[in-house]
Amino acid sequence: MGIGDWGLETEKQNTKNVVMEDSLENLQFYQMAMQLWDDCWKDTEILIKDYRGKEIAKQLIRSVGSISANIEEGYGRGYGKEYPQFIRISRGSARESKGWYIRSKFLLPKEIIKSRIDILESIIKMETKTLSTLSLKLKTN
């Protein structure tokens, strides 16, 4: 999945449209976080129809958006000591998002909640594994 899959393109050389490639986009948990953002956007359309759901929608937008945003920021800072901290923050946002999806049980269909929680649990597992791997690399350096 690349930027082009999210409906974004960048211009390069004589107005020829070319999709920029970035190794960040190759991270599976980042791809999943970006897909979850798209799904969350649709979910909040349902939630905002109820006055109680509006508050859940606000929290979901913040927490789900924070997952990919922190991956991006950490990745952008390089693979030093800061990167693992941003992955931890992203993982915390994934856990928070899971809680908000559970709280939305009176407004969203069970199938949607289960699907989103499954994705979030996968992101959490992958980020935990990444943190473990990075920890070993930092210790050996």
- pLDDT tens per residue across all 141 residues of the chain: 555 555 554 433 332 333 335 688 889 999 999 999 999 999 999 999 999 999 999 999 999 999 999 999 999 887 778 899 999 999 999 999 999 999 999 999 999 999 999 999 999 999 999 999 888 876 776
**Domains delineated in the chain:** 24-140 (1.20.1440.60)
Q: Are 33 and 122 in contact (CB under 8 A)?
A: no
pLDDT value of residue 11 = 39
Task: Please state the three-class secondary structure of 79-95 as a single string.
Answer: CCCHHHHHHHHHHHHHH
pLDDT value of residue 91 = 98
Element (H, E) at 43: helix 28-47
Provide the CB-side half-sphere exposure for 55 (13 A, CA). 3
pLDDT value of residue 139 = 73
The 3-state DSSP class for residue 11 equals strand
The 3-state DSSP class for residue 49 equals coil
CA distance 133 to 114: 29
